[in-house]
Structure 1
Amino acid sequence: MSGFIAGGTPTQSFPITNDGFWPDIDGAVLRASIRLDGSITDARLEVATVNALIEINAELQVLKALHSTDGHRTLAAVPAPHIQGESQWVWQYKRAVYCTVGAELAERYRSFDSTGDGHKKADDLTPSVDEFRRDARFAIRNLLGTPHSTIELI
């Protein structure tokens, strides 16, 4: 019997550094949080995460400027209740990043396996892509202090 086990999940930590104001992301924690297995390589995870950081940081640049003007050098320094020893703003930011990464990787799932089974699995993931996008949007809106939905009378 061999000691080789395929399909394991990497657990070694690897940091993905951010711009200094926004928190860095630990790739291993991200992987565990959105339940990615070893079929997604660290390199692919890093590319998706960096893309998410770029998109989210751009969307939150006004918020960063406001907090920086108030003298807060990092998001963690912005006054907020702490949960599990970490600012709720940091939790919201990480949720936005994790969900954006999860959505991108789930959308790309079809490119891994184009067989009938691969398409079926990808179709099964479609709701989770929408759910990831929704959760990322909610986290960003929480950070911005805006409602989750926009309702307009015509």
Structure 2
Amino acid sequence: MDKLKTQVTENAIADEIITNNGFFPDISLLAIRNAMRLDGTVTNERLKSAVIEAMASVNYDLHPFRQRHQGNTLATVEAETVNGESVLIQRYKRAVYCLTVADLTEQYHSYDATNSGRKEASEQTPLIGELRRNARFAISDILGEVRLTAELI
């Protein structure tokens, strides 16, 4: 997805907000485009679909956290702030953004069946794993869980 590495301005692509369930924050398509360097080659429809699936997945994984903090929103749960924003919100966005790009990258594999497309797809496979790992780390951090469990045999 190296072709998807330029910053998008509001004039280039209209923003759309994907609303969440009230506890977790809404996600701006323009914000994810800029944060993850996705340009207009990813249509809003494809991006929207990937963001919705990523939000659903992260929300599911964080359901126990949400249950423990009923009556709040993620923004009102006590947490450190960095740059004026709760680290919980930052980590939620990181998880959603990473899962979104992993999904889009996997979909990209099936869109370009040329030799160069197959080569690029194989080069992107490690990126998909890294994105999914980063999403899992962000979710584990929100839940207050250890990122890695190892067992000696």
Q: TM-score, normalised by structure 2?
A: 0.89
Answer whether contact 2:7 2:33 (CA < 8 A) is retained: no
Written as runs of structure 1 = structure 2, the 5 A alignment for 1:33-72 is 33-68=35-70, 71-72=71-72
Report the counterpart of residue 30 of structure 1 in structure 2: 32
Written as runs of structure 1 = structure 2, the 5 A alignment for 1:113-152 is 113-152=112-151
Answer whether contact 2:7 2:34 (CA < 8 A) is retained: no
Instruction: Let me know the Cα RMSD of the aligned residues.
Output: 1.5
Measured in 1, the distance between the counterparts of 2:95 and 2:43 equals: 21
Deviation of 1:12 (Å): 2.8
Measured in 2, the distance between the counterparts of 1:131 and 1:47 equals: 21
Measured in 2, the distance between the counterparts of 1:132 and 1:110 equals: 16
Amino acid at match of 1:75: L
Q: Which has the higher contact order (CA 8 A, sep 6+)?
A: 2
Answer whether contact 1:8 1:38 (CA < 8 A) is retained: no
Report the counterpart of residue 19 of structure 2 in structure 1: 17
Written as runs of structure 1 = structure 2, the 5 A alignment for 1:58-137 is 58-68=60-70, 71-72=71-72, 74-137=73-136
Answer whether contact 2:19 2:26 (CA < 8 A) is retained: yes
Displaced runs of 4+ in structure 1, greater than 3 A? 7-11
Equivalent residue of 2:69, what SS? helix
Measured in 2, the distance between the counterparts of 1:85 and 1:12 equals: 26
Measured in 2, the distance between the counterparts of 1:8 and 1:115 equals: 27
Answer whether contact 2:69 2:77 (CA < 8 A) is retained: yes
Which structure: larger Rg?
A: 1
Measured in 2, the distance between the counterparts of 1:108 and 1:93 equals: 23
Answer whether contact 2:7 2:38 (CA < 8 A) is retained: no
Equivalent residue of 1:80, what SS? coil
Tell me the number of residue pairs that the alignment of Structure 1 and Structure 2 aligns. 145
Amino acid at match of 2:51: T
Report the counterpart of residue 3 of structure 2 in structure 1: none
Q: TM-score, normalised by structure 1?
A: 0.89
Deviation of 1:33 (Å): 1.1
Equivalent residue of 2:139, what SS? helix
Deviation of 1:11 (Å): 4.0
